[in-house]
Amino acid sequence: MTEAAAALLPVVVLISGGGSNLGALIAEQSRWPYRIVAVISNQPGARGLERARAAGIPAQVLDHRAYPDRAAYDLALAAAIDRHDPGLVALAGFMRILTPAFVARYPGRLLNIHPSLLPKYPGLHTHRRALEAGERAHGASVHFVTAQLDGGPVIMQARLPVLPGDSPETLAARVLVQEHRLYPRTVGWFAQGRLRLGGDGQVQFDGVALGAPLDLNALPAVEQV
């Protein structure tokens, strides 16, 4: 390993499906001081596994159906992750509820991206629920993972207007574009040491506790590029 490669933050990415956010993380890793060292999926047919292999990243299937319960699976998952000694674990469409013991294993270094403006609409079907509620704005959030489903401290969000005539599908497509901007930048800032979770549970950015999540589209232009 070269000295430059050794300076990069090793990241393990967990997926369950197509891996479009994984693709964004792969595409942007040359711009940031992180490298994806492994991709693990709980679904054997996940298309994101091919994205990883095409990029030369080790890809592993750990099928949850082969384990008797959630705790047993999470123990095996943690062992698979720890073989790569990551500085960060990034959930990218990983459709599993993690046990508190698993989450506690990676304090302050477990991230997730969620397609809503948290704390609104945790869980599934976020776009349909936002439309049914008559929301004027929607978006995506990156947060530190805690034992509460989609309830960890929110780091940064990307918001967009809900348009007249939007369907769950059209809204989802526009939100996904924002997700692909949002996740690599958040992981990159974490790798740079600009971002951390304080002992008090507050997100710290450049050493300052955030009173509210960062808004990607409100950042100075130089930070958005």
Active site residues: 114
Burial of 55 (0-12, 13-18, 19+ CB in 10 A): middle
The residues, any chain, with a CB within 8 Å of residue 184's CB and separated by 6 or more, are: 24, 25, 27, 28, 29, 31, 32
Q: What is the DSSP string of 137-180?
A: EEEEEEEE--SSTT-SPEEEEEEEEPPTT--HHHHHHHHHHHHH
Residue for token pair 């079907």: 125
- Report d(CA 190, CA 201) in Å as an integer: 16
**Residues facing residue 40 across a β-bridge:** 14, 60
Residue type, 180: H
